[in-house]
Structure formats: C-alpha cells, structure tokens
Amino acid sequence: MAVEQNVIAMMYDCDLTLTPSYMQKVLFDHFGVNERDFWEQNDSWQEKVQDQGVHFDDECVYMNSILKYVREEKFKGLSNNLLKELGANLKLFGGLPDFFKRMKDLVEVEDRYRCENIKVEHYIISTGMERTIRGSALGVVDGIFASEFYEQQGEIAGIARTVGYAKKTEYIHLINKGGNKDSRIGVNSLVALEDRRIPFTQMIYVGDGPTDVPCFATLNHKGGKSFAVYHPHLQKAFVQAYQLQEEGRVFAFGAADYQEGSHLSNILEYTVRQMADSIVERRKNERRARIREEVGL
C-alpha cells in the first residue's frame, strides 16, 4: 500500500544560510584562538598535502585542522559534549528558530491542510559539526545531518563522519525515501515512487552558495524548489546569490532574514502553501478515482 506522502520537507545548509558566520567561531571564542590564524594555517596545510598528490575534501581539511589544534593543546579538552555545549553560543539570522514552528503551524492550523494531515518537517544538511548544531537553538529541527568526531580518553581523536557536497545530496535522497525514519531503508534501497515518504516535488532546499549547487541541481531536476540566501550586509554574498538565480541554479533568492513578513519568509511561506495545495488536490483526485472505481464508472 502506498504511503500517505503528506509531508513537506524544508532542508537547509547551515553556515551562512542559518548563521551569519561559520560555526567554528564558537570554538575560537571559547579557547581564545585567533580565527584568521586558524584558517590561514588550515589553507597552508591543505596546500602542503596537495603537493604530495593527495586531495582532501574541504570538510576533511578543517576537521583535521581542529584535531591538530587538539593535539597542540590549543583546543585542549575538546570533546563532543563541549562541541554541543558551545552550540548554545551560535548566533542565528533574524527570525530563527521561531521560523521553523511558524512554517509547521502554517499547515497544521488551516482546516483544508489539517484535514489532509499535512505536515512540514525541517532538516539541516551541513558540512559543519553535528554536535554544535544540535546544541544550538537550531536543534529543534526534525533532523540534522552533519560531520562528526569520535573520542578517545575524553577528547575528540578522529573523524567519524564527513558530510561533503556529494554526501549532502545523498541525505536528500534518504529523506525522499523515508530512510531517516525507517532504518531498513538505505539511500540505495529500491523504493517505488508511490512508496517514497516525501516526493521530491514536496521538497525545498535553502543554501547560500556554490557548495550547495549539487543540492540545488538535485531538486531542480526532480521538481522541488531551491532558494539562495545571502548575508543582508555583505555585497559579495548578494552578488553570489544573484548569480545563482541568473544561472538558473535556484528558483529565487533573498536576504537571510527569517522574520515574519520578510521577503525570504514570504517566498518560503508561499511555496509551502503551493505544495500543500497540490497535496490537497491530489488527495481529492484520488478519492474521486476510488469512488468511480467502486461504482464501476
């Protein structure tokens, strides 16, 4: 029997999409480490590795740089618990996290949507640190897919999982099939379209730049909607988002302001309503078809 397919998934990048800075900043502030020094050393180390003929993905590079700082005792005692605690210091763009509840209420309050049991779910898919996101005010979302460390003797000691550009698209497919709700379903599981928990046409992805292009492309190709955001006070970020729309990589773009009545909030709210209306219409057509079949028409 086909699943209900009554859920709308709103998926987000994290750094520079939901937060005005990279989440590693909470580490620098806590340990008194110079942010510029860290990133300069990070880039220098990456160049040295590449000179050896080895290519590291960006997320592997920053995670190895953090581990190097732990070994050098610049991040002495850094654990997964501390990463989560520091998440409380993560600054968010305006309107968050209240925006998440407002989008849920949008379909749960109106009778025409509530009658069809339509739901909105929020997911963060990030190359950043899962524990830090989980410990922040963003932790109220329905799911977080991000990079993680493992520990030895109370300190992070190695990389447990990296989430890069390609991996992010895998999580979109996993959410589509319902594998995040049912452990028996993997990203490569064969699942008929009518049995997939959230159709691509009921998916929204919000990101800030080129690193989100694979996710944008996935949804654009499969009938979902992609949106770019930019820091309201950074011209360079605006130009980047503008170019993404000009190149047809996103449906629309707006300043990263999630407050009620903002341009971005209005766009996303309208898109959720469109998707919810499509679910209502599909359900009506399905009921009409069943009635015609029962009476033999």
Please report the domains of the chain, with CATH numbers, ordered by start residue: 7-21+92-294 (3.40.50.1000)
Q: State the Rg of the chain over Cα.
A: 21
What pLDDT score does 31 carry? 98
- Report the run of H or E that residue 283 belongs to, with start and end: helix 263-294
CB atoms within 10 A of CB 185: 18
CB 272 within 8 A of CB 203: no
What pLDDT score does 1 carry? 47
Pick the closest to residue 256 from 283, 292, 231 (CA basis): 231
The tens place of each residue's pLDDT in the chain, 297 residues long, gives 478 999 999 999 999 999 999 999 999 999 999 999 999 999 998 888 777 777 778 899 999 999 999 999 999 999 999 999 999 999 999 999 999 999 999 999 999 999 999 999 999 999 999 999 999 999 999 999 999 999 999 999 999 999 998 899 999 999 999 999 999 999 999 999 999 999 999 999 999 988 899 999 999 999 999 999 999 999 999 999 999 999 999 999 999 999 999 999 999 999 999 999 999 999 999 888 888 888 876
C-alpha 250/C-alpha 228 separation (Å) is 6
- Report the run of H or E that residue 129 belongs to, with start and end: strand 119-129
φ, ψ (nearest 5 deg) of residue 2: -65, 150
What pLDDT score does 105 carry? 97
Pick the closest to residue 130 from 104, 109, 156, 110 (CA basis): 156
What pLDDT score does 2 carry? 72
